Structure 1
Amino acid sequence: MSIVENIKKLCKERGTAIPKLGVELGFGNGAIYNWDKSSPSIDKIQKVAEYFKVPVDVVLYGFELTRFEEMFRIIMNKRTCEQFAADTGIDLDTVENYAMGITTEQPSLELVKKIANSNPYKMIVEDDSLFSAAGYPDKNKYEPETIAAHHDGDDWTEEELEDIKKFKEFLKSKRKHQE
């Protein structure tokens, strides 16, 4: 997203509008709308961040890039990019870009889930903090409420149906353990 789109999102979340924000911060008429064409000075970005009480990264990138990268590196720890990619199922280029601080794009929700699932340091980097830094403040909002399997045409023995029940209970307990 662009800086203007990020500011629009912040305005919408806080119930204000860009023109009103510009007036309150003493910027010229329509100045913020021009920031996609001509980059604003860092002091103006800082004023917007202070107004909304968010880090500068949120204004610039739409999420807390610096905080996310720090957490990414903690979770990655001493694993090589190749090891981390293999452990998480994340594309090697993507791992390298976040590890080296090259990308400024918000990570997808799926990518953040993969990182969280590979996090051996949950006492240091909690899932909620990781999701929040990545721009997904309410991770539960993105979790499916129901998972269903359909097996028409298959004849299941009583023993197999019991195994399916046990597996469902295992998954439920695993989910509770992760919370």
Structure 2
Amino acid sequence: MATGKKLNGTLRKFIEKQPVFFVATADQTGRVNVSPKGLDTLRIEDDNRIVWLNLSGSGNETAAHVQATGRMTLMFCAFEGNPMILRVYGQAKTYHPRNAEWAPLVSKFAKMGGSRQVFDLTIDLVQTSCGTGVPEMDLRRSRGEEDLEPYYDELGSDGVKEYWQRRNVETIDGRPTGIFED
């Protein structure tokens, strides 16, 4: 196991090769949330900062937890090649389409239906571990490009906001997510 305060070239290359990453957040009380993320939704800004685009989904736990505590962990696993697990710990901020920071941040990504938030993570710890317990697997396809994005594109802007109202206003613990207000 190796730890450090920031990314380096080797770790950056490792992150850029991974088709999926995992996001973990928690409030002071209540449930811990872990979510898989994919598509081309992550950018390494520098060795101390990662931004990622969060697309609409059935829940919105990450936004509420970041709003409450700011704590976030990203985890990357090698599913092919040499084994490795990389965890990136830090403090995150959430930016919504209503925020002034939204436009410059979302412009880093291709336009995607259902774009909901951009999370901006300032790294305070980086940790690697062996990852030999993670199976080797082949990537068959990205379901998001064929299933997720077209669904939200077809809903349109108003339909996405209606979906957020139904599904993304509160966490499973009943806490506000800030989807419509700070």
Name the TM-score, length of structure 2 as normaliser.
0.22
Give the structure with the larger strand fraction: 2
The structure whose residues are more often helix, as a share, is 1
Which protein, 1 or 2, shows the higher relative CO under an 8 Å CA cutoff with sep ≥ 6? 2
